[in-house]
Structure 1
């Protein structure tokens, strides 16, 4: 998908490194680019995919997602990661990626798209709500 200011494309395994800078905005604990590529390689074996938004030839936004099946949600795409570089925010990149993921979910016969979002990410929440997401539950986690 291409507009006058952006191109949306899925990255293959050899292109993963292109997403590193954008992923660091969301996951600052990922401090080693080679480790990032290895982690994504492992996730790809579990169905993880990366789609990005380019501004010119620079990746400025990304969505990482998986196709899952569950008893509570049926067949759905789960967005693990959605991130945009600060200087590219407000230009529609994340919204375009969400629309791309919606279309991919439809293509795959999914009944929905799911994601979790950290509680202080109010700008992201506004985008999700404006994009048709609802808040049907709380997410609980326990560290071991």
Structure 2
């Protein structure tokens, strides 16, 4: 298992795991959105490679932000593993990598949202030290 940050020319490598989480995206749309919109806003993408499969099987996308409520913190926007590689520790290692990076950047917290139906993800986050600290409300416009 190898973890590495993906630069813009390698964004496409993370499409398979991200498609599990964001099935509405096409590979071209994913690369374009990440590289042309999200990266300029500070989004970064880190991948976990599976040695047996020889490809990226999990990825985390995050950004650093500062708010009045929480100070400097890391926001994980996307974390996903392909179905065939779940339960092998890829997401746990990506969360650990994210924590080290947050500390290196001087962040005080890591934040992430998880859909209310994503029970397996909830278990992972609680098991790795996250707490349920707030409700996240949305309103479609």
TM-score by length of 2: 0.96
The residue correspondences of 1:1-144 to structure 2 (distance < 5 A) are 6-30=1-25, 32-41=26-35, 42-56=37-51, 57-144=54-141
Q: TM-score, normalised by structure 1?
A: 0.94
Give the ranges of 4+ consecutive aligned residues of structure 1 lying more than 6 Å apart after TM superposition: none
Question: How far did residue 79 of structure 1 move?
Answer: 0.2
Task: Quote how far apart the aligned CAs of 1:33 are.
Answer: 1.3
Task: Give the alignment's Cα RMSD to 1 decimal.
Answer: 0.6
* Aligned-partner Cα distance in 1 for 2:74–2:58: 18
Could you tell me how far 1:73 is from its partner in structure 2?
Answer: 1.0
Secondary structure of 1:138's counterpart equals coil
CA distance in 2, matches of 1:33, 1:52: 16
Structure 2: gaps spanning 5 or more residues? none
Number of aligned residues: 138
